């Protein structure tokens, strides 16, 4: 039983089905690992041990009766941006530190109905604003590969928990790369599906036209299993798209021979770390050996993705976060002189520096006299970027310009931090699915291969990733201190 943490989700399903171990035994083993290692990583904000054990017992009873869903008895952790009934849902912010959600997000509900056992809530950048998981009210998350390095953000807690083998799968959200970038920096698999593929109901909003829920796992096959449960139309979400969800697990077994892979010329410029570029080129060679054809594609407007994103996202953040005013829920300033004083002090005390910075930027670009010059212009450029993507079948590029950087290295330089998402933002602006897969190491730190596909072609990305993982073993590597 000592090696249960080392098994992938697919391996755990086989073990549970064969009776090799029970969900209770598995849950106990992982809760013990969380207790032993979380102080070093700070990956969990909340551990729901009692609830997890009760869910594991129910899963074992369901299995014994020949019942249970696709993920029956399998432990997961939710990014603390998903509302979870009866559990604190903080979004990594002081302003929601006392908020206990009265309902479940659709993602939480679907995974629970499939039998998943929730071990807790994962740490994250405050309101998903950040690329390093250093803006959380609960402190930074540390990378299992080097505890002096960041795991990336904003889903850094989810990625660190999976990389350290504390849990086989974790939910995340991706507004500009917040699943794929931490997956790349921790040697895990992260997939952001097409915008509208997974319900946003109960997922606390940052930028409504960009946010999308996804999953972080160790293998593409595991990601296919979890995404298959999460995906689907939800009438409670006005941005949800009623589009058929294929059998992702069955689809990954198909060959990639004959498929074309577009290599974005602009992503191999002077901003790319040379060693990272070499690892990506090695991965492209493997993909070509499997029968796929790599061709260079030109995306002339992709360089505008960062400035476009940092107009659109703060503008939507400014609007979405106006609801956190200290009146109905969350932090409220004490001894306020009047209503305006309560508003100002509650928000001033409750929000961190990065959130305040983005609210102020967003309010400015939406203000009279600047709306056309900034927000409207950014939306026009966004369409140009989307048109560039339409000309390519699929892209292979890097998820981050360098491997994991050190804690504190960029936190005081917002512009440099924003540029860390330069390779991932385009997919969000165009609403396309994107995925990061481990493809090697640079100076002992993981590097990710980034895949982008057509709308609703998550199956193609998972298929590429699975076939690549069948030919390589980068995804099997585990940080030495967490084996």
Question: Which of the residues are catalytic?
Answer: 79, 154, 178
Helix (H) or strand (E) holding 113: helix 106-113
Cβ proximity of 447 and 441 under 8 Å: yes
- The whole-angstrom separation of Cα 214 and Cα 10 is 18
Which tokens go with 146?
């080097």
- The whole-angstrom separation of Cα 382 and Cα 305 is 8
DSSP-assigned beta bridge partners for residue 191: 215, 435
The verdict on whether omega for the bond into residue 154 sits within 30 degrees of 0, i.e. cis, is yes
Helix (H, G, I), strand (E, B) or coil at 146: strand
- The whole-angstrom separation of Cα 185 and Cα 414 is 19
Closest by CA to 352, choosing from 150, 130, 131, is: 130
Place of tokens 């860390």: 420
Which tokens go with 46?
């909340």
CB atoms within 10 A of CB 397: 25
What is the greatest pairwise CA distance in the chain? 70
List all residues 6 or more positions away from 305 whose beta carbon is below 8 Å from its beta carbon: 385, 422, 425, 426, 429
- The whole-angstrom separation of Cα 477 and Cα 483 is 9
Which tokens go with 72?
């029956």
Helix (H, G, I), strand (E, B) or coil at 323: helix
Q: How far is CA 276 from CA 364, 382, 424, 426, in A?
A: 37, 28, 15, 20
**CA torsion angle 200 203 206 207 (round to 10):** 0
Cβ proximity of 80 and 89 under 8 Å: yes
Q: How far is CA 24 from CA 19, 57, 187, 281, in A?
A: 12, 6, 28, 44
Closest by CA to 263, choosing from 289, 291, 284, is: 284
- The whole-angstrom separation of Cα 22 and Cα 45 is 26
The verdict on whether omega for the bond into residue 469 sits within 30 degrees of 0, i.e. cis, is no
């Amino acid at each position: 039983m000592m090696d249960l943490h080392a098994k992938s989700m697919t391996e755990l399903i086989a073990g549970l089905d064969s009776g090799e171990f029970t969900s209770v035994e598995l849950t106990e083993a992982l809760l013990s690992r969380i207790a032993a290692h979380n102080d070093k990583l700070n990956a969990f904000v909340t551990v729901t041990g009692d609830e997890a054990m009760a869910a594991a017992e129910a899963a074992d009873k369901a299995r014994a009766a020949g019942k249970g869903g696709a993920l029956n008895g399998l432990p997961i952790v939710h990014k603390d941006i998903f509302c979870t009934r009866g559990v604190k849902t903080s979004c990594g912010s002081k302003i929601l530190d006392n908020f206990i959600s009265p309902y479940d997000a659709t993602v939480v509900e679907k995974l629970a109905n499939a039998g998943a056992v929730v071990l807790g809530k994962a740490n994250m950048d405050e309101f998903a604003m950040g690329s390093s998981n250093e803006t959380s009210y609960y402190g930074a998350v540390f990378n299992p590969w080097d505890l002096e390095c960041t795991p990336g953000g904003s889903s850094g807690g989810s990625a660190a928990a999976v990389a350290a083998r504390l849990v086989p799968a974790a939910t995340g959200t991706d507004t500009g790369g917040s699943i794929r970038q931490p997956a790349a920096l921790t040697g895990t698999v992260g997939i952001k599906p097409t915008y509208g593929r997974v319900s946003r109901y109960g997922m606390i909003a940052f930028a409504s036209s960009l946010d999308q829920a996804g999953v972080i796992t160790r293998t593409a096959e595991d990601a296919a299993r979890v995404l298959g449960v999460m995906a689907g139309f939800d009438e409670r979400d006005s941005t949800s798209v009623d589009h058929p969800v294929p059998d992702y697990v069955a689809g990954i077994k198909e060959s990639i021979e004959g498929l074309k892979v577009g290599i974005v010329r602009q992503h191999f410029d002077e901003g790319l770390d040379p060693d990272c570029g070499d690892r990506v080129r090695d991965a492209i060679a493997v993909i070509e050996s499997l029968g796929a054809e790599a061709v260079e594609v030109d995306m002339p407007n992709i360089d505008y993705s960062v400035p476009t994103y940092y107009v659109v996202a703060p503008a939507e953040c400014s609007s979405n976060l106006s609801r956190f005013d200290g009146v109905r829920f969350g932090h409220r300033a004490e001894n306020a002189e009047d209503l305006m004083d309560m508003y100002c002090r509650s928000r001033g005390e409750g929000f961190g520096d990065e959130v305040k910075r983005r609210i102020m930027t967003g309010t400015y670009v939406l203000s009279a006299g600047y709306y056309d010059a900034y927000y409207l212009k950014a939306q026009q450029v966004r369409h140009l970027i989307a048109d560039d993507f339409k000309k390519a079948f699929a892209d292979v590029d890097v998820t981050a310009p360098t491997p994991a950087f050190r804690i504190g290295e960029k936190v005081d330089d917002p512009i440099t931090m924003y540029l860390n998402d330069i390779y991932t933002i385009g997919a969000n602006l165009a609403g396309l699915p994107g995925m990061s897969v481990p493809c090697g190491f640079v100076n002992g730190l993981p590097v990710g291969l980034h895949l982008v596909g057509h709308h609703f072609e998550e199956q193609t990305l998972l298929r590429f990733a699975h076939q690549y993982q069948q030919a390589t073993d980068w995804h099997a590597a585990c940080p030495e201190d967490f084996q």
